[in-house]
Structure formats: C-alpha cells, structure tokens
Amino acid sequence: MKILVCISHVPDTTSKINFTNGDTEFDTNGVQFVINPNDEYALTRAVWFKEKQGANVTVVNVGGAETEATLRKALAIGADEAIRVNANPTDGLFVAKQLAEVAKKGSYDLILAGKESLDYNGGMVPGMLAALLGVDFINSCEGLEIEGTAVKAIRQIDGGKETISGNLPMVIGGQKGLVDEKDLRIPNMRGIMSARTKALAVLEPVGAELATKAVKFEKPAPKSACKMISPDNLDELIDLLHNEAKVI
C-alpha cells in the first residue's frame, strides 16, 4: 500500500502572533513552526500501517525552503520519502491542485491529511483534493482500519460518531483520535540521523490561478481587565452582573 500524507507547516500554538504591512501579512519573526497537529495524527497512523502492513509512506508539503525542517521531522518520525512543492500555500484550491498533481504521478492508494490546518483553519483542502482526484472522501476521521483494499473508518458527526466502509483509493481528513495522543511519535536520534539520508524531492508548482486572497488579518479583541469584588459585598456583585455584565 502506498500512502501519501499531506503536511502543513504551521506556527506553534504557543507562538505570539503578529502581522505586518498594514495587517496584510503574517510576521514570521521569532515564530516556531511545527507539523500541523491534525496532520501529525495522520502521519502517525500512516507509520503504523508501515510497521504493521509494510506500507510505503511519502509526505508532501506545499511551501518554501523554510518548510524542509518540518518535512525532515516527518521523515525522522518514520516516513520513507518527502516531496516539497515550491510554492506559497495561501489559497486552498491552489494547494489542492498541487497535491493532486503529486498524487496522480505517484498512484497512491491512500491519501491522509489533517481535516484542517491550524493557521488558516480553512478545512477545504482534503475535500477539494478528493474531488480533483475523483475518489471517495471521509472527513473528521478518528478511527481507520484497512484490510487489502477494504476501508473501515469512524468519523465524528454532530452528537455522535458514524462508521463508514469503502474501498481504496480514498482521501481521509483526520483529526485527534485517529491515533491516541500518547502514541504520537517524538523523533529519536536514530530517526533524526536516518532522515538526513532519505530522499526529499523539490517540485515546481503546476499552473493554477489563486482563487482567493487574504485582504487583512485582525487579532481577537484583548480580554477586559478582571474586576475583583469582596466576598462580603454581595450587593455590589449582583449590581455589576445585572447592570454592567448584563447576564442576569
């Protein structure tokens, strides 16, 4: 089984976020980048299929040279080879078209991706990718078993879970639960050393026009100051809740 895992290069959630050029561009200064958490669940599941069923795992990313450290980490975790499409991933459809081109050339049986990236939160690339390839798609997947070409998946729906059966080839949009959080891999020294010798191919993007453009970014409003009330002053608390907070 050949597996393609789509990897996004995203800011660590603990990073302080700022914007430049009139709030039209993300400021990368001082920001630590990591594998998108949803993609990391997908990658770990792919490595499990490699270890248990002999699958071959390729990771792919659309991004500049700065994303190669993230791809090398994916190789250290257990992927066999990596592909970087040399383009700026600002538009979901553009990214999906680049990934589709890679998927077609590689004839992959299973394509795994996080259901969304934690930078833009678009949540559209896996579905677009499946449509461009003309294969089945399961989103919000938190359980995946494969025997031969038969697929059994569990996905999250409103108010519960749904079990779906199908056949390869297929695109899966994964999330937390695809593997247990405790099973996520931290690269060891052997993995880091072997990642240095694994293939990392750089491809130029195929022609695809951008369908959308970010006009401006805006931070959430800062939290208001906390007002402390004496536990003995119940009347003041009730007054503030009623007249200022307007919650009673």
pLDDT of residue 208: 82
Question: Residue 223 pLDDT more than 90?
Answer: no
Alpha-carbon gap, residue 159 to 7, rounded angstroms: 29
> Is the model's pLDDT at 222 over the cut of 90?
no
Q: What CATH number is given to the structural domain containing 48?
A: 3.40.50.620
Residue 94 located in a structural domain: yes
Please report whether residue 246 resides in a domain: no
The answer to whether residue 243 sits within a structural domain is no
Query: Whole-angstrom Cα distance, residue 40 to residue 35?
Result: 6
Give the pLDDT confidence score for residue 68 in this predicted structure. 96
pLDDT digits (tens, 9 = 90+) for 65-91: 999 999 999 999 999 999 999 999 989
Is residue 45 within 8 Å of residue 112, measured between CB atoms?
A: yes
- Supply the pTM of this predicted model: 0.88
In a domain, 236, yes or no: no
User: How confident is the model over 38-66, as a mean pLDDT?
Assistant: 97
Report the number of distinct structural domains present in the chain: 1
User: Residue 235 falls within a domain, yes or no?
Assistant: no
H/E stretch holding 50 reads: helix 37-53
**Nearest 5 degrees, angle CA 121-CA 201-CA 4?**
50
Query: Which domain range does residue 84 map to?
Result: 2-221
Domain-embedded: residue 238: no
Is residue 96 included in any domain, yes or no?
yes
DSSP string, 89-131: ---HHHHHHHHHHHHHHHT-SEEEEESS-TTT----HHHHHHH
pLDDT at 3: 98
What is d(CA 29, CA 116) in angstroms, rounded to the nearest whole number? 24
Please report whether residue 245 resides in a domain. no
